[in-house]
Amino acid sequence: MEPLHFHILSFTAKISMHAIHSTKKSKSILAINRQTTREKRQRKNILHLPLHLKSIIFAKKTVSMKPLVSIIMGSTSDLKVMEKAALFLDEMEIPFEMNALSAHRTPEAVEEFAKSAENRGLKVIIAGAGMAAHLPGVIAASTALPVIGVPISATLDGMDALLSIVQMPPGIPVATVGINNALNAAILAAQMLAFKEDVLREKLQTYKANLKRKIEKANTELKKLNYRFKTN
């Protein structure tokens, strides 16, 4: 299949990969890209740069492996939201691809993408779009892979996209996350993959444990506040 329109971030070659279970016996479908903490920090620092600079910088950091997750967005104007998904998948060391496709501007390419996704080894599709956001639903219509929809706030505070994505007819579900919540889409995708991947499941458990610590810390801070009628 022709590469879909353009690759915003192209992850090919360079960093060595290991199966998540390093033994040959393992049936792991995940290949991981070992990044140092410094590399991860550098990536986060790059996020505020304009898109054309980001793509140059990221293009140098390339990894050749088969993507398990496909992140699709309706336009580059959606990238600011959708890159949260990319960052999380990077953090979990899950190979993914990232492309732009539009249900309205490139309908044939969307259908071709959806129909070939399973044969290309993809396991989950994350699709984000704004306005009359038909992209996730149109993809879901042509594949049995799970599709996670991210409504993007382009107009009407994202309510138009939310309703367009979530209100699918019976038989063609799209797992819809909150408006602009691409992070949750990536977490959900990772949880779907973790069903068969012990190492990934452990990583997710650690991630969730850290969320718990955040609230524990919040309670320690709240304890320090004094009000006349506050009892704790």
Interface with ligand RP5 by CB under 6 A: which range of 27-35, 60-68, 128-136, 200-208? 128-136
Ranked by CB distance to ligand RP5, the top (closest) residue is 74
Q: How far is the CB of 9 from ligand RP5 (least distance, A)?
A: 17
Among 117, 122, 154, 189, binds ligand RP5 (CB under 6 A): 154
- Residues in the chain, total: 232
Among 22, 64, 77, 167, binds ligand RP5 (CB under 6 A): 77
Q: Under the criterion CB under 6 A, does residue 75 sit at the interface with ligand RP5?
A: yes
What are the residues whose beta carbons fall under 8 Å from the beta carbon of 59, sequence distance 6 or more?
9, 10
**Separation CA 73–CA 152 (nearest Å):** 10
Q: How far is the CB of 7 from ligand RP5 (least distance, A)?
A: 17
Helix (H) or strand (E) holding 172: none
Interface with ligand RP5 by CB under 6 A: which range of 1-9, 23-31, 73-81, 185-193? 73-81
Paired tokens of 125: 């599709």
Instruction: Please choose, from the candidates 171, 102, 113, 166, the residue with its C-alpha nearest in 3D space to the C-alpha of residue 135.
Output: 102
Interface with ligand RP5 by CB under 6 A: which range of 3-11, 50-58, 72-80, 200-208? 72-80
Among 67, 74, 149, 151, binds ligand RP5 (CB under 6 A): 74
β-bridge partners, 125: 70, 147
Interface with ligand RP5 by CB under 6 A: which range of 53-61, 110-118, 127-135, 203-211? 127-135
Q: Under the criterion CB under 6 A, does residue 82 sit at the interface with ligand RP5?
A: no
Q: Where are the beta strands (DSSP E) in the chain?
A: 17-19, 31-33, 69-73, 96-100, 124-130, 147-152, 175-176
Instruction: Please choose, from the candidates 230, 4, 229, the residue with its C-alpha nearest in 3D space to the C-alpha of residue 106.
Output: 4
**Cβ distance to ligand RP5 smaller for residue 9 or 129:** 129
Instruction: Please choose, from the candidates 94, 116, 113, the residue with its C-alpha nearest in 3D space to the C-alpha of residue 102.
Output: 113
- The footprint of ligand RP5 (CB under 6 A) covers 74-75, 77-78, 102, 129-131, 152, 154
